[in-house]
A and B are shown apart, each in its own frame.
Chain A
């Protein structure tokens, strides 16, 4: 598939934004329901990431002026569900940021063991739920495309979740270090664990994809029961949507080279930088690596329809 930069930026930016939101709420929980400016400013940072992602997504649409219509088919389309979840999460994150900024923390519930649930924590839990739901929507957009066997797997959703969390926690570690916050160590540790987990899951999917077999063959494509079928001509000598959208520029060598690149730059080097106590550098490095990862994700997807487009002429 042809990688679209709009979608590469959209998925990496909102992934890091969602991960950051989850990191903030977990940090808040870790510190024992703390509130205040650190979380408010962190919320603003996450909102910026989500907003930039939304801006990138607009560039993917050929007719963005009717983009609002994309919210109408949420019953059947994961894309529509994502379109609804992004603004919903933005709204929740905005409320979360606002409540922390004004420091309003009324107790909502008291549990049997004497612990309490205050408004910032309750909103935080909603933000976590929303973020996870958005990860599932984004992952499912690709995982439900049956005709691209490299995507049609639950590991696609797992990877979107893990890579988003890893980059979000690395960003949170960088932010905590700049703010000299007490959460710095917690965030760095969590980011390290998640980065290693994301590396493991992504490598596993690479391994799976190297072993998958195409479900359709030339036999079923043209319904001819012969073991040797080759295309003489696809019917035209120029290009068409079918030969542009479903092919990756650069071919298999670029995909192989960039795979090694992203495994190092998105996971291995950031993990080392996190261990060395350089989370800011780790985030920058990891983000660049994840851009390459997303490019490879698209480029490595081979669509069933390519069976019909093999011979120019």
Chain B
């Protein structure tokens, strides 16, 4: 199977800190895919281009609710519906590693590809007039001047909780493929047949059952070694009861 680089995002770990959002914006606005222009950034109604966002969902009814932080960027589909509809060929999927990219020099800004993405992953830049999207930090992961363990997307490096795993999902030995395999990794909206390369790891129920005898241990060594209760003042001493 051909190489398919992707992200695996653990929804059980993500704490919703938005570090991946800011590091993505920082790296990509100053790199190959940039600038990610903002309009009216400090004004009343700001807009801007962001490749990655963390959304928050809540399920259940109060008070039995659960909060889910959900990072979303381009999923680099194995059957990307946005690519064949591009009239110019600006939108393409790289043969060698499966990354879906846009050639800004060919894009005419017709926005047709964004209509053909069910995930809302494509971001139009009205200043440059071209469609932009997550590149999986292609300029970073292929840069041989960076030490090997740092050749990862900016969002992955920024995540303080290690909720994001980067790798080749078609290589069974990779950490990403193993995480999908062993933790029930799933794809978003599988009903459209887009086969997203990015996978998510599900929420896992973490429950601890405590029994009363676990709260007070009968054989607690601290109890044996701790200071013994002091004898009462009128307790007879050994001298008083022993005849020697």
B32 within 8 A of partner (CB): no
B58 in contact with A232 (CB, 8 Å): yes
A145 in contact with B70 (CB, 8 Å): no
Give how many A-B residue pairs fall within 8 Å (CB-CB).
Answer: 176
A69 within 8 A of partner (CB): yes
Nearest Cβ in chain A — how far from B225, in angstroms?
Answer: 49
A62 within 8 A of partner (CB): yes
Interface string of A143-169 (1 = CB under 8 A from B): 011111000000000000000000000
Contact among B72, B87, B114, B122 for A70, CB-based, below 8 A: B87
A308 in contact with B59 (CB, 8 Å): no
**B86 to chain A: which residues have CB within 8 Å?**
73, 77
Q: Which residue of chain B has its CB nearest to the CB of A222?
A: B70
A216 in contact with B186 (CB, 8 Å): no
Interface magnitude class on chain B:
35 or more
B48 in contact with A240 (CB, 8 Å): yes
The distance in angstroms between the C-alpha atoms of A63 and B109, with both chains bound, is 6
A224 in contact with B57 (CB, 8 Å): yes
From 199 to 242 in chain A, residues with beta carbon under 8 angstroms from any chain B beta carbon are 215-216, 218, 220-224, 226, 228-236, 238-242
Q: Which residue of chain B has its CB nearest to the CB of A242?
A: B120
B110 in contact with A245 (CB, 8 Å): no
The distance in angstroms between the C-alpha atoms of A304 and B192, with both chains bound, is 11
B189 in contact with A62 (CB, 8 Å): no
A38 within 8 A of partner (CB): no
**A221 to chain B: which residues have CB within 8 Å?**
188-189
Interface string of A31-56 (1 = CB under 8 A from B): 00000000000000000000000000
**A304 to chain B: which residues have CB within 8 Å?**
118, 189, 192
A63 in contact with B120 (CB, 8 Å): no
A148 in contact with B115 (CB, 8 Å): yes
A223 in contact with B186 (CB, 8 Å): yes
B60 in contact with A226 (CB, 8 Å): yes
Q: Is the interface of B mostly helix, strand, loop or mixed?
A: loop
A220 in contact with B191 (CB, 8 Å): yes
B126 in contact with A62 (CB, 8 Å): yes
A79 in contact with B192 (CB, 8 Å): no
From 71 to 105 in chain B, residues with beta carbon under 8 angstroms from any chain A beta carbon are 72, 81, 84-90, 105
Interface string of A50-68 (1 = CB under 8 A from B): 0000000000111110110
Contact among B47, B67, B87, B105 for A238, CB-based, below 8 A: B47
With A61-B108, A79-B112 known as contacts, the answer to whether A216 contacts B89 (CB < 8 A) is no
A63 in contact with B118 (CB, 8 Å): no
The distance in angstroms between the C-alpha atoms of A195 and B107, with both chains bound, is 39
**A235 to chain B: which residues have CB within 8 Å?**
18, 21, 53-56, 72
The distance in angstroms between the C-alpha atoms of A241 and B115, with both chains bound, is 12
A233 in contact with B118 (CB, 8 Å): no
* Most chain A CB neighbours (cut-off 10 Å) among B87, B105, B108: B87
Contact among A62, A73, A141, A228 for B109, CB-based, below 8 A: A62
A254 within 8 A of partner (CB): no
Interface string of A79-96 (1 = CB under 8 A from B): 110010000000000000
Contact among B50, B87, B119, B120 for A73, CB-based, below 8 A: B87
B89 in contact with A72 (CB, 8 Å): yes
B31 within 8 A of partner (CB): no
- 15 more contacts with CB within 8 A, not counting A224-B59, A234-B55, are A62-B130, A63-B107, A63-B129, A69-B90, A76-B85, A79-B85, A83-B87, A146-B81, A218-B57, A220-B190, A229-B59, A232-B67, A233-B56, A305-B117, A308-B120
- Residues of A participating in the B interface, judged by any CB pair closer than 8 Å: 1, 60-64, 66-67, 69-73, 76-80, 83, 141, 144-148, 215-216, 218, 220-224, 226, 228-236, 238-242, 244-246, 303-306, 308-309
Q: Please name 20 pairs of A and B residues whose Cβ atoms are closer than 8 Å in the assembled complex, sorted by A.
A: A61-B108, A61-B110, A62-B124, A63-B109, A69-B89, A69-B106, A69-B108, A73-B86, A147-B116, A216-B118, A216-B189, A226-B60, A229-B58, A231-B55, A232-B58, A238-B48, A240-B123, A241-B124, A303-B118, A309-B120
